[in-house]
A = this chain, B = another copy of it.
Amino acid sequence: MANHPHLDTADADAELFDLLRIPSVSADSTRRGDMRRAADFLRAKLDSLGFTARVDDTAGHPVVYAERLKAPGKPTVLIYGHYDVQPEAPEAEWLTPPFEPTVRDGRVYARGSTDDKGQAYAHVRGAQLLLEGAGELPVNVKFLIEGEEEVGSRNLEPYLRAHADELKCDVIVISDGSRFAKDVPTVTYGLRGLAYVEVHVQGASRDLHSGSYGGAAPNPINALATIISKLKDEEGRITIPGFYDGVHELTEQERGMWRGLPHDDAEFAASIGVDALPGEAGYSTLERLWGRPTLDVNGIWGGYQGEGSKTVIAAKAGAKISMRLVPGQDPHRVAELAKDYIESLAPEGTKVEVIDLHGGQPVAMDLDSPFIAAADRALERVYGRRAAFARTGGSIPIVAAFRTILGAPVLLVDMGLNEDAPHSPNESFALDDYHNGILTSAYLLEELAK
């Protein structure tokens, strides 16, 4: 694999390693200079490829923007990536220095190697490949490479709004995650959304002695437990009235496709140290993780949490509850439904208040979309096999922002693997995956031109 007349892997590796040597840790305020160096590195490279490239300041770290619009009548593709990396701590656990890329067994070990410098740079080298071959790109290409993904992309949404006209495009391509498995090229076509609420239960106006008052005073912790227990039925279905309204049911096509993926429940359970994977009845694990909404309490508190015993009936208790959403659900509507239902469950003598903390829209791309078909063809050319079409249970908040602000669909073509250990010590990227990523990027642009 990864054979192409114009692919100079030694040069592609050497350049990536130079980028990996820059310790562009966005969370570390002492490294602002390194952040700027990484941005300049990318700008200079894209400039050398004939892109109109610049570094734009933001309230935080700068954004690299570059465009080459020489394919009139052809689609415009926006490629997003990020040049910032996670902090390297705990540094003692690295076998080789985090900012000195080192190759062992065909993998380059360095902070940012897979997340996301390696994957973003594969797109840069993909464009180079096409330019060195055909001399021009088959589509119009825009690069947007930010420096704050690892700290919440807090300045990206304002940037998108301010540059919405300039960033206009037909499709957005992102490579910032993991393929389903080593031998499974993957297109991710859906992300769950999120509704996140906080529940406050008030009982008496002060903490009470459980001896003197136990039997007559409302207990907000018992009340909260009762409320939470009523949010799902015995079958694991969420009982909030209206919660499932509009939910796009999984199609037989999707269920069949996912059944074909190499997933093993026992292995998955063992990987998190449990002996069962409870969830909504009637759905497989992957279906529940990717295609069904869920509800989890993320935190709970009330009364005495210290050592030993304290005989208190607390005045208040609280919990944080999140719901993962699927296409057809709206975070704010779901939060409203949850608020109405949870508040209606207030047991006698208690007051319950629900606060909408934040939400994120679910995203799914139409499986019949020509962009997905193009990605499928590109991956088949690289790997010699058809891609898997997966969704993911998590949310990537900026994906929803791209859709909302730029109005274009997002294509997630991940090049990494979970075993790359992004965010952990000894993060790595298989050079094979990097080289295949370069080809994937080039072929994807070619296929998108068709």
A418 / chain B contacts, CB cutoff of 8 Å: 212
> Known interface pairs A206-B421, A392-B211. Does A304 touch B298 (Cβ–Cβ under 8 Å)?
yes
Q: Which of B232, B423, B425 contacts A222 (CB 8 A)?
A: B232
A178 on interface, CB distance cutoff 8 Å: yes
A314 on interface, CB distance cutoff 8 Å: yes
B221 touches A299 (CB 8 A): yes
A272 touches B320 (CB 8 A): no
* A285 closest partner in B (C-beta): B216
A357 touches B423 (CB 8 A): no
A14 on interface, CB distance cutoff 8 Å: no
Within 8 A of B (CB), among A175-194: 177-178, 192, 194
A298 touches B311 (CB 8 A): yes
A212 touches B178 (CB 8 A): yes
* A302 closest partner in B (C-beta): B300
Q: Which of B151, B208, B226, B314 contacts A308 (CB 8 A)?
A: B151
B394 touches A212 (CB 8 A): yes
* A196 closest partner in B (C-beta): B309
A215 on interface, CB distance cutoff 8 Å: yes
A27 / chain B contacts, CB cutoff of 8 Å: 306-308, 310
Q: Which of B204, B317, B320 contacts A300 (CB 8 A)?
A: B317
A340 on interface, CB distance cutoff 8 Å: no
B310 touches A303 (CB 8 A): no
A89 touches B306 (CB 8 A): yes
A329 on interface, CB distance cutoff 8 Å: no
A70 on interface, CB distance cutoff 8 Å: no
A269 / chain B contacts, CB cutoff of 8 Å: 349
B289 touches A314 (CB 8 A): no
Which segment, of A39-47, A104-112, A273-281, A435-443, faces chain B? Answer: A273-281
A426 / chain B contacts, CB cutoff of 8 Å: 206
A29 / chain B contacts, CB cutoff of 8 Å: 307
A227 / chain B contacts, CB cutoff of 8 Å: 225
B210 touches A296 (CB 8 A): yes
A159 on interface, CB distance cutoff 8 Å: no
B423 touches A277 (CB 8 A): no
A322 on interface, CB distance cutoff 8 Å: yes
Within 8 A of B (CB), among A205-257: 205-219, 221-222, 224-230, 232
* Cα-based distance from A229 to B307 in the complex (angstroms): 24
* Cα-based distance from A393 to B212 in the complex (angstroms): 5
* Cα-based distance from A317 to B302 in the complex (angstroms): 12
* A272 closest partner in B (C-beta): B204
A279 / chain B contacts, CB cutoff of 8 Å: 215-216
A297 on interface, CB distance cutoff 8 Å: yes
* Cα-based distance from A208 to B421 in the complex (angstroms): 7
* Cα-based distance from A153 to B160 in the complex (angstroms): 65
* Cα-based distance from A203 to B392 in the complex (angstroms): 22
Q: Which of B225, B296, B308 contacts A229 (CB 8 A)?
A: B225
B298 touches A217 (CB 8 A): no
* Cα-based distance from A115 to B10 in the complex (angstroms): 72
Smallest CB separation, A3 vs chain B (Å): 30
B206 touches A273 (CB 8 A): yes
A288 on interface, CB distance cutoff 8 Å: yes
| Most-contacted residue by chain B among A213, A279, A307 (CB, 10 A) | A213
B207 touches A274 (CB 8 A): no
* Cα-based distance from A308 to B152 in the complex (angstroms): 9
* A291 closest partner in B (C-beta): B215
A292 on interface, CB distance cutoff 8 Å: yes
A408 on interface, CB distance cutoff 8 Å: no
A317 / chain B contacts, CB cutoff of 8 Å: 300
Extra contacts besides A27-B308, A275-B349, A296-B313 (13): CB < 8 Å? A152-B309, A196-B309, A205-B274, A207-B423, A209-B424, A212-B392, A221-B299, A229-B229, A274-B350, A298-B303, A299-B306, A300-B317, A310-B320
Q: What are 7 A-B interface contacts by the 8 Å CB criterion?
A: A209-B423, A210-B324, A214-B393, A215-B292, A219-B297, A298-B303, A309-B357
Interface residues of A (CB under 8 A from B): 27, 29, 86-87, 89, 151-152, 177-178, 192, 194, 196, 198, 203-219, 221-222, 224-230, 232, 268-269, 272-280, 285, 288-289, 292, 294-314, 317, 319-320, 322, 324, 347-350, 357-358, 392-395, 418, 421-426
